[in-house]
Amino acid sequence: MTPIRVAILTVSDRCSRGEAVDTSGPALAELAQRQLDAQIVACACLPDERDQLAGQLRRWALDGPKPDLILTTGGTGLAPRDVTPEATLDVIERRHNGLMELIRRRCYEKTPRAYLSRGEAGTLGRTLVINLPGSRRGATESLEALLDVLPHAIETLRGQVIDDGRGSLLTRPDVETHT
């Protein structure tokens, strides 16, 4: 498989002003490289400004570097300036709620606070966009929750999965059908 091309967008007023050091973005990059054999094609840090975030997502996905996967970290909570989900909804073409449900379900075992994240996931062109929490731990645990499904999701989005080998439910002997 061609390496998964990943862009990482850190959303933080303080980091964007140089008042804090971004630890989540680099941790996500390291995890993606180690666990997904990903190629990091872009990284950026922006303030919690909806228009700026939407613009960056749109530029990466449609103009370049056209990653397979954009991970955002930060801005998914309940604070008034947390607008990453809204910025994401401004640009994605198709939502994918199941990925966020999987993150919350799997991360709940470690902390019930997983359900406080308002993150969104969806596609823009042939790019999958996933919002992750802003803390290093929250971001990496959330990405870890998806590691087993992301390669297939990316292959499917790329158009590389034509038949997953399971066959039609109507022709499979292991599936009972009722007519």
pTM score of the predicted model? 0.90
DSSP 122: E
DSSP 2: P
Q: What is the pLDDT of residues 135-158, one digit of tens each?
A: 999 999 999 999 999 999 999 999
Is pLDDT above 70 for 43? yes
As beta bridge partners, residue 8 has 43, 71
Give all strands (DSSP E) within the chain, no chain letters: 5-11, 39-46, 69-73, 94-95, 121-124, 127-132
CB 16 within 8 A of CB 46: yes
Q: What is the pLDDT of residues 70-94, one digit of tens each?
A: 999 999 999 999 999 999 999 999 9
CB 54 within 8 A of CB 87: yes
- According to the model, what pLDDT value does residue 161 have? 86
CB 85 within 8 A of CB 120: yes
- Compute the 3-state secondary structure of the chain and give helix, strand, coil in percent, each to the nearest 5: 40, 20, 40
Is pLDDT above 80 for 50? yes
Q: Coil, helix or strand for 170?
A: coil
Homologous superfamily of 5-158: MoaB/Mog-like domain (3.40.980.10)
